């Protein structure tokens, strides 16, 4: 019996070690491009092909060049992303609340239309916006990019927010109404605090959509006055690039905001919207 017990306890351990090894190998393969990007960014000026495997001679010249050449583009991307997050939440949150808790006639049709809008190719929207922006004078402008990026953020935020807001008990809102709060007061004082996790989730994904946008930036900007970092990095890479350390340093700097936000907001994304709401 002791021999059988030992063999039975050893097999799961071996399997767990094997699964861990496979997981580590897969993770290493997936993270290798990130490591190579950081490695090249820390190298002296030169070609990425002849870069050693480890940064033996660390140099920050690439980051200095990236900040000098792409600092304005990074600031533009940050302003556009934050503006798109604010504008998208201002539109999506009340719309999602109305669709979740009010008896809106044709709500199913509205939700279906929002879902269908997510399937429209971005190039179709960009071309349509280009003609409209040309008439309205919104080309090469930060408000124009914010509105364009919000066309992706608002529908997605409505779908995410409605799923969360629909799980808020109607009794909680009715209790606030009985205490004398109006619809707006109940929405601001009760619904929004309870929906913190949903708001952070929608804001995070809207920021990521906007921060990584390339199509709208390429279509709706024709000068260097307003240029996000995605377009700046694209134009930074030419046929005769000799300093790949600056290019990779720009890529590292462009990746940092998304990485920081994902690390900070992951617990809010994973948390339930109703945790601790009703006691």
Task: Give residue-wise pLDDT tens across range 228-255.
Answer: 988 888 877 764 566 778 888 888 888 8
* Residue 40 pLDDT grade (very low, low, confident, very high; cuts 50, 70, 90): confident
Of 10-24, 167-181, 186-200, 221-235, the least confident? 10-24
> Domains (ranges, CATH) in the chain?
65-270 (1.10.3720.10)
Q: Give the least confident one: 33-47, 136-150, 192-206, 232-246.
A: 232-246
pTM for this model (two decimals) = 0.80
Output 142 or 174, whichever has higher pLDDT.
142
Instruction: At 26, list the tokens.
Output: 């897969």
Inter-residue contact 99 to 110 (CB < 8 Å)? yes
Identify the pLDDT of residue 147: 92
Cα-Cα end-to-end distance for the chain: 51
Q: What is the mean pLDDT of residues 11-26?
A: 72
pLDDT at 196 over 50: yes
- Which pair of structure tokens corresponds to residue 34? 């990130």
Average pLDDT value for residue range 20-33: 84
180 Ramachandran zone, left/alpha/beta (phi>0; psi -120 to 50): left
The confidence score (pLDDT) of residue 241 equals 66
Share of the chain above pLDDT 90, in %: 9
274 pLDDT above the threshold of 50: no
- The Cα–Cα gap between 117 and 87 comes to 18
Per-residue b or e along 157-194, where b marks 16 or more CB atoms closer than 10 Å to that residue's CB? bbbbbbebbeebeeeebeebeeeebeeeebbeebbeeb
Instruction: Kindly report, residue by residue over 99-117, the tens digit of the pLDDT.
Output: 887 776 777 787 788 888 7
pLDDT at 12 exceeding the cut of 60: no
Residue-by-residue DSSP string for 78-133: HHHHHHHHHHHHHHHHHHHHHHHHS--TTHHHHHHHHHHHTTS-HHHHHHHHHHHH
Q: Give the pLDDT score at 34.
A: 85
- 277 pLDDT more than 50: no
- pLDDT bin (cut points 50, 70, 90) of residue 79 is very high
Instruction: Please state, in angstroms and rounded to a whole number, the distance separating the CA atoms of residues 82 and 208.
Output: 10
Confidence check: pLDDT of 129 > 60 = yes
Closest CA to 66 of 37, 98, 101, 104: 37
């Amino acid at each position: 019996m002791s021999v059988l017990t030992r063999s039975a306890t050893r097999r799961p351990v071996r399997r767990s070690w094997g699964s861990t090894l496979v997981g580590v190998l897969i993770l290493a393969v997936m993270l290798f491009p990130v490591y190579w990007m950081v490695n090249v960014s820390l190298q002296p000026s030169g070609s990425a092909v002849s870069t050693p495997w480890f940064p033996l001679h660390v140099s920050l010249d690439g980051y200095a060049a990236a900040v000098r050449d792409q600092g304005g583009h990074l600031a533009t991307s940050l302003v556009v992303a934050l503006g798109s997050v604010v504008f998208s939440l201002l539109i999506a949150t009340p719309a999602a609340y109305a669709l979740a808790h009010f008896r809106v006639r044709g709500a199913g049709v509205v939700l279906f239309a929002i879902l269908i809008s997510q399937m429209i190719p971005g190039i179709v929207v960009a071309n349509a916006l280009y003609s409209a922006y040309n008439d309205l004078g919104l080309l090469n402008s930060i408000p124009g990019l914010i509105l364009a990026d919000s066309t992706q953020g608002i529908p997605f935020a409505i779908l995410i927010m409605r799923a969360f807001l629909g799980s808020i008990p109607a009794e909680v809102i009715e209790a606030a109404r009985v205490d004398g709060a109006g619809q707006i007061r109940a929405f601001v004082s009760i619904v929004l605090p309870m929906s913190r996790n949903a708001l952070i989730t929608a804001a995070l994904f809207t920021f990521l959509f906007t921060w990584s946008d390339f199509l709208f930036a390429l279509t709706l900007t024709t000068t260097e006055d307003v240029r996000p970092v995605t377009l700046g990095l694209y134009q930074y890479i030419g046929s005769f690039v000799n300093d790949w350390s600056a290019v990779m340093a720009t890529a590292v700097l462009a990746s940092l905001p998304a990485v920081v936000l994902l690390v900070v907001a992951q617990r809010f994304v994973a948390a339930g919207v109703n945790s601790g709401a009703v006691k």
